[in-house]
């Protein structure tokens, strides 16, 4: 059966799959290397030389910074920020919770993914530098640890031009500003893993001019998290 996927849909699909595979591999590598360091006696706890409080999570500061330097070049590829909160299980006690995680995917000394967590340990936001130029170009938003929305700045003008909306962690709708005027002119609706219909604003007046029924299966699953 022939696929009616558009070049843009195929491009987005391949990019998402490649990014997901890269993140998964990095996450496994980071975990394995950190475990090996602990076995070898290398420090994996709070950084002894943390010079001053740094930003951690949604607000406040923390001095509890833990790093992993996977290639032993003196520059960490994984940095975790912790803060103390009240332990609901033990009255009057505190516990450390992860509030932010920075990941250098390319080992070039620059962070590529920033992950932010709430006091329950659930991710609430991720910021991605998908083209590795040092700037955030995609932000993902989560509720109860499940993705609900993402915003992508494809042309690096500082404004998002691709918006994805999720229901129960699955892609439901995609909106695109194709000409960079700050206004949505393409709408894609998904039914499960299937791209169901596409609407296009051909004259860029803010309303749909044509609708097309597609019905092509696409990978619309939740983006992988590190």
CB 148 within 8 A of CB 154: no
Within 8 A by CB and 6+ apart from 11, the residues are none
Domain boundaries, the chain: 7-44+53-217
pTM over 0.75: no
Most distant pair of Cα atoms in the chain: their distance: 65
pLDDT in tens, 73-119: 999 999 999 999 888 889 999 999 999 999 999 999 999 999 999 98
Using the predicted structure, report yes or no on whether residue 22 has a pLDDT greater than 80.
Answer: no
Q: How far is CA 133 from CA 97, 106, 116, 156, in A?
A: 30, 11, 21, 10
CA proximity to 145, closest of 109, 117, 170: 117
pLDDT in tens, 141-174: 999 999 999 999 999 899 999 999 999 999 999 9
CB atoms within 10 A of CB 42: 13
pLDDT in tens, 70-82: 889 999 999 999 9
Using the predicted structure, report yes or no on whether residue 24 has a pLDDT greater than 50.
Answer: no
CA proximity to 81, closest of 42, 107, 54: 54
């Amino acid at each position: 059966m022939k696929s009616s996927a558009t070049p843009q849909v195929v491009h987005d699909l391949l990019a998402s799959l490649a990014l997901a595979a890269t993140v998964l591999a990095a996450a496994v590598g980071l975990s394995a290397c950190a475990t090996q360091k602990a076995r070898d006696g290398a420090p994996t706890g709070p950084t002894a030389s943390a010079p001053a409080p740094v930003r951690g999570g949604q607000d406040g500061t923390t001095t509890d910074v833990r790093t992993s330097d996977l290639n032993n070049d003196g520059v960490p590829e994984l940095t975790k920020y912790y803060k103390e909160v009240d332990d609901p299980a033990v009255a009057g006690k505190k516990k450390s919770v992860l509030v932010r995680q920075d990941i250098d995917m390319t080992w070039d000394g620059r962070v590529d993914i920033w992950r932010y967590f709430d006091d329950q340990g659930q991710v609430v936001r991720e910021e991605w530098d998908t083209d590795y130029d040092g700037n955030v170009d995609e932000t993902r938003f989560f509720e109860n640890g499940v993705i609900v929305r993402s915003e992508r700045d494809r042309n690096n003008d500082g404004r998002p031009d691709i918006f994805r909306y999720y229901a129960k962690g699955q892609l439901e709708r995609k909106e695109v500003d194709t000409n960079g005027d700050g206004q949505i002119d393409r709408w894609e609706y998904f039914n499960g893993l299937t791209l169901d219909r596409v609407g296009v604003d051909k004259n860029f007046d803010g309303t749909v001019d044509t609708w097309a029924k597609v019905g092509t299966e696409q990978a619309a699953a939740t983006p992988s998290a590190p």
